[in-house]
A and B are shown apart, each in its own frame.
Chain A
Amino acid sequence: MDEIPNLPLRHPLQYQTQKKLNYNDPDKTIYEKANFYVDNKYQIVNMLGKGSYGTVCSAVNLKSKGNPSLAIKKVCNIFNKEVLLKRAIRELKLMAFFKGHKNIINLVDLDIVYIKPYDGLYCFQELVEYDLAKVIHSSVQFSEYHIQCFTYQILCGLKYIHSADVIHRDLKPGNILVTSQGVLKICDFGLARGINEKFMKFTHRPPEITHYVATRWYRAPELILSRKNYGKPVDMWAVGCILGELYGRRPLFVGDNQIHQVSEICKVIGNPPRKVALGYESAAAWDFFCNSRPKFLKKDWSSLFPHANPHARELLSKLVCWDSSARLTVELSLESPFFSKVRSIDEEPVAREPFDFSFEWRVGSIEGLKEYLHDQVELFRDQMRETPRKI
């Protein structure tokens, strides 16, 4: 903010000045341990987690009947890094867009604070007891029904997301929350993005899209080995990895680095067909598959997961496969006979329209983005309080 002293004050900055005056705002409360500055109807209970993106705390709403618990996620550093600011806007817009689906985390309220060190975007969400990583890696008793239901719910949430032409790009057990009653909710849309062409800027070069997404163990091979465009199949790879983890109770491919990750994949599903390896059109892929490195043969899924339903193994082999164009789509995965006992068409709605991400290029400067974020927060808050009008 120091770099732009001569620009006329735009409203987020004005807001900041206002707030500075109200530093001792009687309606706000401070939680020093996590540098949280929130409405005093919330009482922070404890810190749940901290990462590069920010901090999550659990809290109770003292003013709502029954004092409900909720999770508050504070996204930090958004006002000095454009990437993080964009990421915060994306996350906010996607969570608001997908609100109301049973298998997607429910955003309840938003706030934005400009005073350091409390500055950031505050997302108020429902609090869920577990995440899938905790569930898989503890001694929770599974049955085939548990695995069917969990995978089915991930696919239902993902169908809704993909139907809006959005890819999540960071699906992993840690980003899937689980209630004690076994309801799964996909969360963390920080890396998600829209891919509907309608909202892309018309340029001659393909839209830039970073390849450094997804946690390594769940990263699809085309993300590691190719610089070409990728799409929804990267999420389907991750779903396959999660299905394998549900049966094996440990991550399927545990690579210490990118190269190791690829060799771990090869150990299980064998080397890629020549056509796929050449299709990556990258030196990395060429080095890896055409040099004198050991060739791996495909292992039999039934030797890895002898207790798995044959339909589950078939689904797994069609998700965890090299050729992203041959990988099952979310719709085709739902058709798998593995889900015939748990499936209900009513659980598989689609989004009403594709997600509009044109703000990514429409709003240019960091100042413009700040203003946009501020407006989006206000918009969401107003909408939530409003009585809906039907057309």
Chain B
Amino acid sequence: GRKDLPGAGGYGGDDDDDTKSLFPLDNLLSLNYYDRICPDFEKIVVTKVREWTKSDSSLGPALLRLIFHDCGVTGCDASVLLDYEGTERRSPASKTLRGFELIDDIKSEMEKSCPGKVSCADILTSASRAATVQLGGPYWPNVYGRRDSKHSYARDVEKVPSGRRDVTALLETFQSYGLNVLDLVVLSGAHTIGKASCGTIQSRLYNYNATSGSDPSIDAKYADYLQRRCRWASETVDLDPVTPAVFDNQYYINLQKHMGVLSTDQELVKDPRTAPLVKTFAEQSPQIFRQQFAVSMAKLVNVGVLTGEDRVGEIRKVCSKSNSRAY
């Protein structure tokens, strides 16, 4: 069951939680949800994320991508983690998603410390923030109490914005999440880190508008470089070629120099609704982008959550398997 983002403030119980936070809250999600039932929750997550990213630094960006693909389908319900025939995870669009083993490891550890208490959706939410902080990005307070979906359908994945949508389609999708144009531009800024699969941009490099050349909106030197990097669809390329490992606003500066890797990235400077925001983030202090990123992420991870009040969902024992499904 999908749930829209409620208005800020909420009502009813847990008033003390609302007053402590500057971020909009679902009334049934709580900043101190695990304080009594699993006090070490965030510590376990942070430790595991740090441990895994030490040996594979690309897992940080992968976790951010994973949370986006989860929240962007039916809401932040860990549906992307379910692994059986016909699930989101098995969809072609999810082929390049990574980070599942890390989430499973955290869940396994969590089941030892607090069996049956911590949902995979909350783990994914916490892990994506830990990854961001690890990458030098901002911290934001998370509220918890999400439940896991019992189902996952590959057909729903079409909704997640791919690297080839135009701005209008992106805005429409974001609107359906309860996010706005500012959130679209800000969350696209996650491409300050991470890599793109060459398969998503090859048509832009080699077959743009049925020609044999590259998209003319790409800087010529950069296009030449990308063409030589992207010989194979399975190759990857940095989304921010200038500072690929730093969480900064270089991404926006790149866009203004026609160095957006994905066409959805470059489109942001063409569209009059988004171009002024790109310009602002490119020209203002990186701190402005970081602060706004925290705000937008806090909104994203509250999209379409399942909570106890819904009387749906479950706390999975294993993130890749629903408790109620026979295997």
Q: Answer yes or no: are A and B bound together in one complex.
A: no
